[in-house]
Amino acid sequence: MEFEIVNKESIRPSSPTPPELRHLYLSFFDASVPCQYLQCVFFYHNNNQCSADSRRRSHSEVLKHSLSEVLTHYYPFAGRLIDGASVECNNVGATFTEANLQCPMSDVTKSDEIWKLLCPEDGTEINPILSVQLTRFQCGGEAICVFLSHKLSDVITFATFMNDWASIARSPGALLPVSPQFNAASFFPPGRKPFPLVREQRVDNTVVKRFVFEGSKITALKVMVSEKVENPTRIELLSALIYKAVVISAGGFEKRPPPPSSLLQVVNIRKRVVPPLPEALKGNIITFYVVPLQEEVELWEVVRDMKRNFEEFCDKYPQNYEAAEWISLHKLFMEESFGRMAQNFYTCSSWCNVGLYEVDFGCGKPAWITMPDIVRKNSIVLMDLKHELEGMEALVCLDKDVMAAFERNEELLCFGCLKS
């Protein structure tokens, strides 16, 4: 399997950032997230909408030119993190790498080594803020892998950026539907000590695996749980199913009683605060609520507790962010949540329904979207399946011993399967 990097360069914004925008302060929520990258890889078939020469030469030029154009609007992504609280928007640029991989695109899931080759870098640096790698496969297919610093972006911002970039690639010079705003700190002033500006690394002895849940199986799961819980969402159902299976698996094959555990469920608060936030506001506009699990229970009970704790979150969460006491109230909410957490805790976030499968650079929409890796242990990420109505893919990062039990959990395997 031959791999070759054929080009690597910095892509700067097509227009320089004005002096008054050169220094960006991170918001309360930006400061609250760990220093890691949002990672996503988009796979595109060679669908003959573009000629071979176009895909190998002019297509990469289109990607680079449109990236330069979109970075004028997303200027912080071309800058550099200088501490845990601010960004120097200095037009240094995003890294763009082109590579050739002599294997079919269908071989990706057969080797962990291929996933590493698709990523733009594997170092320990916190910069650049944005890195992209275009990899061409032997079959003519392509993968576009994007690393974007979590300090400046949640999944909503990430998806909007990708679709804006693709829109410019399809229609050079076109205006963006909404011009992005990077002034979240004026709505949510930094009120806590930021996370250390040290990039998180994968813990030894952990493994990431992908599980597929067909829409029909999720529907059957909903029918079963709905006998006890009113109108559960597919996110709640799958989060609860995986969370319960993980906690049981932590007891090992000896089926010891599960240890007390907590799930941190990430929440997008854009539509849950008053007054409404600007549609164009970018950055991390997310927080979390906690779902404890003290003993082995039925699946419907986990879903019930999840819905109940979410409702409690919505009731207690300080919605009026313009109030002077907002930051102190939210800090109190976070402290109370952490105080309820068990030593064993897991994190679940959803990348569903954000439009990632609409990212079309001019040669068709992606055939598959996934994450090449998950850095943080005990993490669960839910993603859409393109060709499966209401189906979902779950990426799970666990200790190897826990994963060995998890992937054999009978209740889990009634509704999903390991992706091959």
Which pLDDT belongs to residue 95?
96
pTM of the full structure: 0.94
Can you tell me the mean pLDDT for 267-284?
91
Which pLDDT belongs to residue 204?
83
Annotated catalytic residue: which of 150, 164, 384, 399? Answer: 150
Catalytic residue status for 305: no
Separation between Cα atoms, residue 114 and residue 221, nearest integer Å: 34
Can you tell me the mean pLDDT for 171-183?
91
Can you tell me the mean pLDDT for 82-105?
93
Annotated catalytic residue: which of 107, 305, 360, 401? Answer: 360
Among the listed ranges 59-68, 96-105, 150-159, 183-192, which one has the minimum average pLDDT value? 183-192
Separation between Cα atoms, residue 366 and residue 302, nearest integer Å: 34
- Sign of the alpha-carbon torsion through 47, 51, 56, 62: negative
Which pLDDT belongs to residue 125?
79
pLDDT tier, 54 (very low <50, low <70, confident <90, very high otherwise):
very low
Which pLDDT belongs to residue 53?
45
- Average pLDDT of the residues of the chain: 90
Got the DSSP string for 349-380?
EE-TTSSGGG--SSS---SEEE-S---STTEE
Which of 394, 386, 391 is CA-nearest to residue 360? 386
Pair 194, 126: CB distance under 8 Å: no
Which residue intervals of 74-154 are DSSP H helices?
112-118
* Cβ neighbour number for residue 240 with a 10 Å cutoff: 28
Among the listed ranges 34-38, 43-47, 309-313, 336-340, which one has the minimum average pLDDT value? 336-340
Architecture label for domain 2-187: 2-Layer Sandwich (3.30)
Separation between Cα atoms, residue 12 and residue 301, nearest integer Å: 52
Can you tell me the mean pLDDT for 197-212?
86
Peptide bond into 104 cis (omega under 30): no
Architecture label for domain 206-352+373-419: 2-Layer Sandwich (3.30)
Catalytic residue status for 150: yes
Q: Give the distance, in angstroms, between the CA of residue 213 and the centroid of all CA atoms in the same chain.
A: 19
User: Domain residues of the chain, as ranges?
Assistant: 2-187, 206-352+373-419
Is 206-352+373-419 in the same CATH topology as 2-187? yes
- Span 372-414, pLDDT tens digits: 999 899 999 999 998 777 899 999 999 999 999 999 999 999 9
Which residue intervals of 188-325 are DSSP H helices?
215-226, 234-249, 299-316
Three-state secondary structure call for residue 386: coil
pLDDT tier, 293 (very low <50, low <70, confident <90, very high otherwise):
confident
pLDDT tier, 105 (very low <50, low <70, confident <90, very high otherwise):
very high
Percentage of the chain beyond pLDDT 90 is: 70
User: Is the confidence at residue 263, as pLDDT, over 90?
Assistant: yes
Structural element, H or E, at residue 156: helix 155-170
Phi, psi at 120, each rounded to 5°: -65, -20
CA trace torsion 316, 270, 388, 230 (10° rounding) = 30
